[in-house]
Amino acid sequence: MFPQEFIICFHKCVTISKLTIQCYCVQTLRIEKSVSKDPINFEQCVEKELQYKEGELQIEAFSFPEIQATYLRFIILSAFDAFVSVHRVIAEGIAQDI
């Protein structure tokens, strides 16, 4: 059942300095970015093993040296259970860009 992925599209190329994700049962997460007009040519930003506590949301924050992105692809490579959930993704950067 894994990997699973989803893509977030911004209205234009934006500058991101921090990403926060709230999820449940995700074991290994990879985040990739693209500056193309279409969701192609992704480059890896980060890959991380997340900590898990049963019954609690996982909240992970990733800081970047202000990356540029039109698309963000989140790939759940493995999980602690057969089902995972993503509750929220927060992208922070230059206020007028996002």
Spans of all domains in the chain? 4-93
Structure confidence at residue 85 (pLDDT): 97
Residues (pLDDT < 70) of the chain are 94-98
Say what the pLDDT of residue 66 is. 84
**Which residue, chain included where needed, has tokens 């992704």?**
42
Q: What does the chain come to in residues? A: 98
The pTM of this model reads: 0.91
> What is the pLDDT, as a whole number, of residue 97?
45
Q: How high is the pLDDT of residue 65?
A: 87
CATH 2.60.120.260 holds for 4-93: yes
Tell me the DSSP string of 37-52.
SSS-S-EEEEEEEPP-
- The Cα 62–Cα 48 span in angstroms is 10
pLDDT in tens, 70-82: 999 999 999 999 9
DSSP code for 79:
E
- Cα of 11 vs its chain's centroid, Å: 17
Q: Read off the DSSP letter of residue 53.
A: -
